[in-house]
Structure 1
Amino acid sequence: MRSVLLERPGAVAPLDGGEPRVATAVHYGEPMPEQRRLAAGAFVDRSDREIVTVTGGARLEWLHSLTTQHLLGLGVEGSETLLLSPNGHVEQAVTLTDDGSTLWLDVAAGKGGALLDFLLKMRFFTPVEIADVTDSWALVTITGDESLPAPDLIPVPPAKFASADVPARPSARYAVAMNADGGWSRRTDVLGVPTVDRLVPRESLASAAAETGLPVVGTWAYDALRVAALRPDVADFDHKTIPHEIPLLASGVHLDKGCYRGQETVARVHNLGRPPRTLVLLHLDGSEEHLPPPGTEIHSGGRVVGTLGTAVRHHELGPVALGLLRRNVAENPAAELTVGTMNAAVDRA
């Protein structure tokens, strides 16, 4: 399925990655100017996000028992949560919104099927209904909108490393407002500027973009800003990643709640030791025309010391990427890093 906004002049669809369930534009002909527009105020089509709903009076208590977030007492609000393996590895990173009757879960493209399958298997006799509504609803992001209160986010540590040393509480809830079309708006500020996610009927996607009066930009611009803000996506962690290695520990994990799958690992690493790896922002030397793909090995001293995540060309920072590095390497300012044939350095600003 192609987003209707791919029909706009200059729209460029993803060139690889197989056949996505929903194809959205990576840019509309001006990748760098689009980043600057997004930093000031723009509209991003993120309708490739897959959306699952949970309804029923027990929905919050049920999901509370399965995930890392404390969801009891959640009002008409948004939050984040993680689904972990029994060994505490991150399987799903979920952003959620409850509108008072329906819990909306949105995940990265290609992850909705696995989320739906897991939830259906874990329902047992719980009186909840679970559905995939990606074909009916679309998620978009708008920057520059300050109509909703800003979240009181727990900041990433000054050294820009993920850390186990975060308060034993979740991040503040994301403010949510209900829209007239049955969707909602949720302010997250995850791009380092006022950032609002908006759920709209898929059939109204084109009119939703026009009604904002904002320039429409592609997902490359969104990725550039989130990388600069040290905001990981699924390309930035692997099957071995534990929450302490990525900044989502601060926003998606409640460190003082009851049992859930993988809790033993979370508690042990938080209380007894430091995580083996940490997510960092890397500056790449830009010597290659094409940036390396996610999963590329990072080397230092002839050894593999990490894995590359999303690499982008940022309009101010130049070629940058997220990378999962061994903690001792990330904390060593003398470490010399290479990614393929390119030199790399950890951002220490």
Structure 2
Amino acid sequence: MASPLLGRRGAVRGSGPDAGVAWHYGDPTAEQRALRAGGAVVDLSHYGVVRVAGPDRLTWLNSITSQNLLDLAPATSTELLVLSPQGHIEHAAGVVDDGEATWLITEGSHAPTLAAWLDRMKFMMRVEITDATEDWAVLGEPVGAEGGPGEPVTWHDPWPRTLAGGTRYGPDDAAHPGQDRPWRLVLVPRAGLEASVAEREAAGWRLAGTWASEAARVEAWRPRLAFEVDNRSIPHELDWLRTAVHLHKGCYRGQETVARVHNMGRPPRRLTMLHLDGSGHLLPLSGAEVRNGERVVGTVTSVARHHELGPIALAVLKRSTPEGVDLEVDCEGGAIASGQETIVPGEGVSADRPTARGPVTRGLGHHPSL
């Protein structure tokens, strides 16, 4: 559904997964600066919202997803993944409970299928699943705090903090660039979307588009379901065990692959950030091939023009791609050079991988489904 804020003067409609909201409102550089300064709000009303009510909601969600939700307190944010039996990512959602229901915030295109899958999995559990996207809209704010008393339901993005039971492949939390990106999502009644934005504007905030929020996300190395995930993705490749996976919570669908790759190391692919040569004013599209010489080594997943860093991108590469080499990215008008900034190291070893007890047979860490 198209946002009413697309009627604002200067609004330029987004495309792809962000169709339905504004890419920018005429001055993307100023919008990025306002977001960085903590004085902007982003219309993300195209995101999906699934509400799970009932007394069994947390124990049930805990049993079928990657996150430990047994003791999730109200107004405490986390996130979860729904994995296939082979450990591939099918859904991702921000999670917050308000004491009466658990709210799952996800990509708009995924909300109906996530709600339908949850409904099929409820069996005799006392839960009620609702795709609430038509009733609730999402706003993004550069605020590093949970929702307080009297505030709407709010999901505070935990990225890049390594949550209890998680682990990391990239740098420690304090050195991670995502520390400079406070971010939360606020649920507002869809009928009151414009009024909620106007309230923030009255307080001096600027309305910004997804150009600004996506540039900040790419800078923070934050994976997103709509871009970084394909039908082969496992959480390790995207450093998503930081916030979305609990390694010690017990069995759930896909858990065997999560444990095997964590214990053995070497996920098949790795997420990297690319600093693109902007001298030719060319920008690749999501899905563009990445090359090391003549060899295709990966795919661009997200692209952004950052107001300070210039053109940047996230890409998923083969694990064997050397970390120190410059790469080329296919682009309409010719290939462009790019430098790498390592997110998931090529060695593919997490910060707390168990120490091997003896010689490891070559190929033992390979999972046939990967």
Q: Take 2:44 and 2:27, find their aligned partners in 1: how far apart are those partners?
A: 18
**Residue 236 of structure 2 corresponds to residue 244 of structure 1:** yes
For 2:16 and 2:342, locate their aligned partners in 1 and report how far apart those are by CA, in whole Å. Answer: 32
Contact 1:54–1:128 (8 Å) recurs in 2: yes
Deviation sequence 1:145-187 (CA, Å, 0-9, x none): 45x3xxxxxxxxxxxxxxxxxxxxxxxxxx343545xx32333
Measured in 1, the distance between the counterparts of 2:277 and 2:288 equals 15
> Which residue of 1 is the match for residue 5 of structure 2?
5
Q: State the distance in 2 between where 1:204 and 1:136 align.
A: 10
Secondary structure of the residue that 1:36 maps to in structure 2? helix
> Which residue of structure 2 lines up, in the alignment, with residue 184 of structure 1?
153
Task: Give CA-to-partner distance per residue, 1:265-286, whole Å, 9 cap, x none.
Answer: 0000000122121111101112
Question: How do 1:280-299 residues align onto structure 2 when only pairs under 5 Å count?
Answer: 280-299=272-291
User: What are the within-5 Å matches in structure 2 for residues 131-170 of structure 1?
Assistant: 131-143=130-142, 145=143, 148=145
1:101-140 equivalent positions in 2, closer than 5 A: 101-140=100-139
The one-letter code of the counterpart of 1:219 is: T
**Alpha-carbon distance in 1 for matches of 2:131, 2:121:** 16
| Structure 1 counterpart of 2:30, one-letter code | P
The correspondence of residues 22-101 of structure 1 with structure 2, limited to 5 A, is 23-41=20-38, 42-76=40-74, 77-101=76-100
CA contact (8 A) 1:330 1:346 kept: no
Alpha-carbon distance between aligned partners in 1 of 2:278 and 2:133, rounded to the nearest angstrom:
37
Amino acid at match of 1:61: T
Contact 1:177/1:186 (8 A) holds in 2: no
Q: Distance in 2 between matches of 1:348 and 1:257?
A: 29
Cross-structure match for 1:266: 258
Distance, in Å, in 2 between the alignment partners of 1:209 and 1:301 is 48
Q: 1:136 to 1:179 in 2, by over 3 A?
A: farther
Aligned residue for 1:346?
Answer: 340
* 1:52-96 deviations in Å (ceiling 9; x for gaps): 110000000111011100000101121101011111011111111
Specify the alignment match of 2:196 in structure 1.
208
Is contact 1:179–1:185 with CA below 8 Å preserved after alignment? no
Shift of 1:290: 4.7
Shift in CA distance, 8/19, structure 1 to aligned 2, threshold 3 Å: closer
CA–CA distance in 2 between the matches of 1:113 and 1:290? 36
Give the alignment's TM-score, normalised by structure 1.
0.85
Q: How far does residue 109 in structure 1 lie from its aligned partner after superposition? A: 2.6
Structure 2 CA distance for aligned equivalents of residues 49 and 264 of structure 1 = 30
Give the conservation status (yes or no) of the 8 Å contact 1:232–1:246.
yes
CA distance in 2: counterparts of 1:136 and 1:291, whole angstroms: 37
The verdict on how the C-alpha distance between 1:338 and 1:2 changes in structure 2, with shifts beyond 3 A counting, is closer
- Local SS of the residue matching 2:12: coil
Superposed CA RMSD in Å reads 1.9
Question: Separation in 2 of the partners of 1:92 and 1:45?
Answer: 22
Whether the aligned pair in 1 keeps the contact of 2:95 and 2:155 (CA below 8 Å) is no
Q: Give the 3 Å change call, closer, same or farther, for CA 292–197 of structure 1 in structure 2.
A: same
Query: TM-score, with normalisation over the residues of structure 2?
Result: 0.81
Displacement, 1:258? 0.8
Contact 1:46/1:141, CA 8 A, preserved across alignment: yes
Q: Distance in 2 between matches of 1:244 and 1:303?
A: 24
Q: 8 Å contact 2:18–2:210 — kept in the other structure? A: no
* 1:84-129 per-position Cα deviation (integer Å, ceiling 9, x unaligned): 1111011111111100111110111311121112111111121111
1-structure distance, mates of 2:60, 2:7: 41
Q: Quick one: which amino acid aligns to residue 107 of structure 1?
A: T
Deviation at 1:18, TM superposition (A): 8.7
Which whole-Å deviations, capped at 9, do the CAs of 1:2-44 have from their partners, x for residues lacking one?
2122122211112x43995xx1111000111111111012111
Fraction of identical pairs, as percent: 44
8 Å contact kept, 2:97–2:103: yes
- Separation of aligned partners in 2, 1:211 and 1:321: 33
Segments of structure 1 that go 5 or more residues without pairing to the other structure are: 149-174
Q: CA 1:4 to 1:313, structure 2 compared with 1: closer, same or farther past 3 Å? A: same
Counting matched residue pairs gives: 315
Query: Does the 8 A contact of 1:297 with 1:307 survive in 2?
Result: yes
Is the CA contact (8 Å cut-off) linking 2:78 and 2:94 kept in structure 1? yes
The 1-side partners of 2:124 and 2:219 are apart by 44
* Alpha-carbon distance between aligned partners in 1 of 2:311 and 2:123, rounded to the nearest angstrom: 48
> Using the alignment, how far apart are the partners of 1:129 and 1:330 within structure 2?
49
The 2-side partners of 1:297 and 1:100 are apart by 46
C-alpha contact 1:244 1:275 (8 A) present in aligned 2: yes
